[in-house]
Every structure is written in C-alpha cells, then in structure tokens.
Amino acid sequence: MPTLPTLPPALDEAALQQFTAGLTSQQLVWLSGYLYGQAAQGAAGISGAVPTAALAAPAVAPATQKITILYGSHTGNGKKIAEQAAAAAVTRGLAAEVRDMNDYAPRQLAQEQNLLVIVSTHGEGDPPISAEELHQFINGPRAPKLPKLRYAVLALGDKSYLHYCQTGKDFDHKLAELGGTRLLDRVDVDVAFKAPAEQWVAAVLDVLAGPVGGASAGVGIASTASVGAEIAPITTEYTHENPWSAKVLDSIQLNGRGSDKETYHIELDLAGAGLHYAPGDALAVVPVNHNPLVEEVLQAARLSDTAPVQLGDESLPLAAALASRRELTVLTRDVLERYAALAPHAELHGLLADSARLQPYLYGRDVADLLTDFPTDQLTAQALADTLRPLPSRAYSIASSLLTHPDEVHLTVSAVRYEAHGRRKHGVCSSFLADRVAVGDDARVYVQQNEYFRLPPAGDTDIIMVGAGTGVAPFRAFVEERVELGNTGRNWLLFGNPHFTTDFLYQAEWQQHLKRGGLAQLDVAFSRDQAQKVYVQDRLLENSRDVFGWLENGAHFYVCGDKTRLGHAVHTALIQVVEKEAGLSADDATAYVKNLRKQRRYLEDVY
C-alpha cells in the first residue's frame, strides 16, 4: 500500500486538492479505489444488486496484472458475460484470459491471483456440467489453500428455482474458506441478468484497474454508471429486451384424439431476421399473460386496471403492466418476501420461515392465489408492480434444421394446464403458444444457444438420441441436419410417450427417415400400451449390447426431456448398460459414464 500524507480534518474540495497535490498517479489510483470501496460498503450484500463492497482486498491493483475469467455455463449466458468482461478488462489495460471451467485443470487454481468466476446453476441447485469437475475439486480433499487469490463471483440463476444461484454461492464460500480474498461481495443475478451483470463487470474492474479515467477521474468518485458506458453491452442481436417478432406460419396439434397430452408443432417465420441457430439451441419465447388471469389478479388486488404504474422510464396502466411485464402464473420466494412486507400476515411470515411448508405452498399457486389468501388494504398499483417479478421468457428446444427449413424455426410445445386450489390454470408461455397466437400472428423470440448440446464435430460419428415427450424436439433438428449434410454417422432414436396411437410425435417423419437411412434404428417405449409400464430406459437396457458397442465405437449419447423422470433414469440405465457389457463394477461403470460427460459425448438437455 502506498504511504499517504495525513488526512486533513475538514474535508472540502480545497482541502482534498491540498491533500492529493503531492500524490503520484499510482497513489491517486489506489486511493480512488479505496474510497470507492469504503463508500460502497454500507449497501453491501443485497442479492442481485450492484456489487458494492470492496472487502478486505486492496482496492486497486497495478493496471498491468493478469486476471483469469473462469466461466461455468450451460446455455451460454455466463460465457457471453465472461467474454464481455474480458473485452472490457483489456480496455482497462488488464491482461485478461477467459477460460471455460470444462477445459480448466483444477490444480491451476493454486496459481491464480486475480480470478473472476462467472457460474450458473442448473438441475436442482447443481453446477452446470462444465463446472462439475472444478466444483467437486474445490469441495474435495485435494483443494489447495489459496492465500494469494483475490476473486469475485457472479452467480447466474433463476429465482423460480428452490436453490437460487447455489453453484455461485458454493464457489464463493469455498474460495473464501480456502483462503481467497473477495474483491467484491458475490452478486446473484436472476433471469434479467443483463444490467446487473454489466454493473458487476464494471465494479470488479474498478477494483482491479481503478475507476475509468484512472487518476484523472478524481478521487473516490468512480461510478458504475460512467464505467458502464465504456463496457460493450452484454447482448446478442436478439435478446429478451430486443426480440424478433416471428410470424406464426403453422400450428398443428400432434396428439391424436383422446390423448391426455396436448402437444403443438409450431412453425415460425424468420425471413428477414438474419437470425441463426444451430441444432441443439433453444428458442426463447417472450409470452403475454392470459387476460382472464390478469382480471383475476386485479380483482383479488382490488385495484383498477387503469391505475398508472411506472416501470423504469415507462408509465403504463396496471392491466397492461400485468399482462406483458409481470410474472403471474408462478410464485417465488422473493415475491412472497416483498409481499409479506406489505401484507404482514403471521401465516405468510410463518411460510417464509419454513422451507418445508413454503415449497408446497408455491407449487400450483399463482399471484391471484397469493392476493386472495393474504389480502391487504395497503396495496397500491405501484406496490403490486414492484412486488412481482418481471415476466421471463421460456425456452423451447428447436425442432428444425435451418438447412431443411431456411428462414424457419420449429418448436414442439406441450401445453401446461392443471387444476389447483379451486381454479383452472394454464402455463403462461405454453398456453400463449397453444391458444393466444394463431397462424399469422407474431410471437417475440430470440435464440438461446446451447453449446453443450451439439452434434459431434465429425459427420461420421454415430449418435444415440434418447427423448421422451417433447424431448424429441432437438432430435428432429439433429436428424434433419445430418441428412442435409450427408453425414455418414448412424442415427439411433429411442423415443417414449404414453400411447402409440395418440402420442407418437412426428411418427410419419421418423418412418420416412428409417426408410431412407436418416435413422439407422428407432426404438419406441409407449408406457401405457401394456399392463406393465415400459420406458426408454428399459429399451436402453434391452439393447445394451448395441448401445455399448456404439459407445465403444465413439458414439455421442444425447438425452432430452423431463429432468426428474427422464434424466436420472437414463443416466442410471446407461451405467447399468456399461456394467453389464464391459463387465465393470458399478463404480467403474459410473466413472466410464462420467468420462463420457467430460468428453462431451454424454449430453443432456433436460428441463
């Protein structure tokens, strides 16, 4: 730390000028960062807010030092932020290296001095696949002490999940436990991550390189706003804030009459969008709430539909804000917390204090239920708008290849409908696509890349695709793409759904592919067509010799569909296949499958 003169007792501008007059530029930079950290410390710890506290770390480091930006990402959000952070770091004179956790040797951690960790959470509070090994390493017995490490964590997540930003929290706690020093408090960002992520990047670079403008920027007045202007925006061409309005070209119910399922094949027009996607990507759809639900919420809140509310710079009538800007179908803990501050019911506070009761309360209840269960006279239109979450988009695996359908994107959407707590309910986005956009209407969309669910780079590699229900969607894209490219690798599809007659999604297309060689093998599991239930994992076990043979021949193995029912069952079945066919112990077979994951040959898209 540079040696500074004694601070004058009265701090006015003249005194400050006098105090700083003899300082070198390095001392000024150090001081500005120090004061920024001190000023920010008061508001620290607000999850999702701008990072504020420059904790124990020295506030500013020499501007030439190297930083490693390590990301663990599944759908690409974290990767994008890491790349933007690196670009911004370079403009601040820092040498920044971006590393994917998947390709990062865990032992290298011991060499790091300045580390930015950007990591999302997937599954049910699990690390993304690419972060699994590093996550395990820092939590294991081989984790090194990290006394030289200064780090900051940006945790990406979604508040509708029970374990919000869990992986980021794990990294943050563990790195501190191993001796690392936080450059900033961890920041947790929800689905609307763009602005807080940009602010986090700006703030962490302030600490590492000094505020923008360095010494000439003046003492201690770094503002994240001024820094933000210098950072390239974290955005792709089409985003949640700037989606493409895609015309609906077709919408077809795929299930036959009498099915319990309601699945739609939806074709959207991309002509003129310049929007590209690869097989494996998902399309994010920005939905609009169902008007009857907006009415129910207004009634339960006893508020006028025309009451004005302010959302950022925009003033809107409450009904319009509820229809298109606020999440109404799903309740999350943070909404209940904010609402409890307005409606201080003892029972509501009791729920918030007891996760075992909170989760069952949240499941199947919507905003109208909350307002009815815990009424209050204190609610204004603005307070309601401020209490609810911004309405997030929903992702749908893309079911088409651009090579087969230039300028189009196809989806396979299951309509979510259920009865709960005395009312019929409809999932906001699936019912928007199923009921509220007709052919000729527009749906607002953008691409969500999925780099961890890609076709093999070599066209002669075999692929095994396991999908149930709408999980078949990306495999339609895979097979179309491979057929168009003339790939010689074999394609094997295992598909499951309840009934052959009503639920064999894209049956005619699969049969054509079988006939023409686009599919080498097709195995189906119609669970309810016989007394004993049969699922895709049973088909894997029945075909264990071929499955193992294909894997040994270098095949890539893909799973898509329901996270709880399919993902785990298929993983277990594959381990059993390896155990049986390779004659391995359960542990060794587990390691074999784990290694497939590591090599990106076992790829999951489960939701």
Ligand X SMILES: Cc1cc2nc3c(=O)[nH]c(=O)nc-3n(C[C@H](O)[C@H](O)[C@H](O)COP(=O)(O)O)c2cc1C
Residues at the interface with ligand X (CB under 6 A): 73-78, 120-125, 128, 156-158, 161, 163-166, 193, 563, 607
Binding partner at 428 among ligand FAD, ligand X, none, C-beta below 5 to 8 Å by kind: ligand FAD
Q: Of the two residues 430 and 543, which places its CB atom closer to ligand FAD in the complex? A: 430
The reply on whether position 163 binds ligand FAD by CB under 6 A is no
Q: Which helix (H) or strand (E) holds 392?
A: none
Binding partner at 130 among ligand FAD, ligand X, none, C-beta below 5 to 8 Å by kind: none
Q: Cβ distance 326 to 382 under 8 Å?
A: no
Residues 307-336 that bind ligand FAD (CB under 6 A): 329-330
Cα–Cα nearest to 457, from 312, 600, 281: 600
The reply on whether position 607 binds ligand FAD by CB under 6 A is yes
Nearest-approach distance from CB 167 to ligand FAD, in angstroms: 16
| SS3 (DSSP) at 596 | helix
Pairing label, strands 150-156, 187-189: parallel
Cα separation, 105 vs 272, in Å, equals 43
Cα separation, 296 vs 307, in Å, equals 16
Nearest-approach distance from CB 430 to ligand FAD, in angstroms: 3
Q: Cβ distance 558 to 547 under 8 Å?
A: no
Nearest-approach distance from CB 387 to ligand FAD, in angstroms: 18
Rule CB under 6 A: choose which of 56, 357, 418, 545 binds ligand FAD.
Answer: 418
Q: Cβ distance 440 to 299 under 8 Å?
A: no
Q: Which residue is nearest to ligand X (CB)?
A: 157
Burial class of 242 by CB neighbour count within 10 A (0 to 12, 13 to 18, 19+): exposed
| SS3 (DSSP) at 589 | helix
Q: Of the two residues 196 and 489, which places its CB atom closer to ligand X in the complex? A: 196
The reply on whether position 427 binds ligand FAD by CB under 6 A is yes
Binding partner at 125 among ligand X, ligand FAD, none, C-beta below 5 to 8 Å by kind: ligand X
Q: Of the two residues 261 and 482, which places its CB atom closer to ligand FAD in the complex? A: 261
Q: Of the two residues 188 and 206, which places its CB atom closer to ligand X in the complex? A: 188
Q: Cβ distance 31 to 57 under 8 Å?
A: no
Total of residues contacting ligand FAD (CB under 6 A) = 24
Nearest-approach distance from CB 388 to ligand FAD, in angstroms: 13
Nearest-approach distance from CB 474 to ligand FAD, in angstroms: 8
Beta strands in 361-462 (DSSP E): 394-397, 408-414, 417-420, 423-426, 442-448
Rule CB under 6 A: choose which of 50, 70, 119, 282 binds ligand FAD.
Answer: 282
Nearest-approach distance from CB 41 to ligand X, in angstroms: 26
**Torsion angles phi and psi, residue 407, rounded to 5:** 65, 20
Q: Of the two residues 187 and 285, which places its CB atom closer to ligand FAD in the complex? A: 285
Q: Of the two residues 29 and 477, which places its CB atom closer to ligand FAD in the complex? A: 477
Neighbours of 370 (CB within 10 A): 23
105-112 LR contacts (CB < 8 Å, sep 24+):
106/133, 106/134, 106/137, 106/138, 106/142, 107/144, 109/134, 109/137, 109/138, 109/144, 109/146, 109/149, 110/144, 110/145, 110/146, 112/68, 112/146, 112/148, 112/149, 112/151
Q: Of the two residues 414 and 497, which places its CB atom closer to ligand FAD in the complex? A: 414
Binding partner at 418 among ligand FAD, ligand X, none, C-beta below 5 to 8 Å by kind: ligand FAD
Rule CB under 6 A: choose which of 217, 301, 383, 413 binds ligand FAD.
Answer: 413
The reply on whether position 363 binds ligand FAD by CB under 6 A is yes
**What single-letter amino acid sits at 45?**
G
Residue with tokens 């076992």: 602
Interface segment toward ligand FAD; rule CB under 6 A; list 45-53, 205-213, 332-340, 393-401: 393-401
Which residues sit at the interface with ligand FAD, rule CB under 6 A? 282, 329-330, 363-364, 394-397, 412-414, 416, 418, 420, 427-431, 470, 473, 605, 607
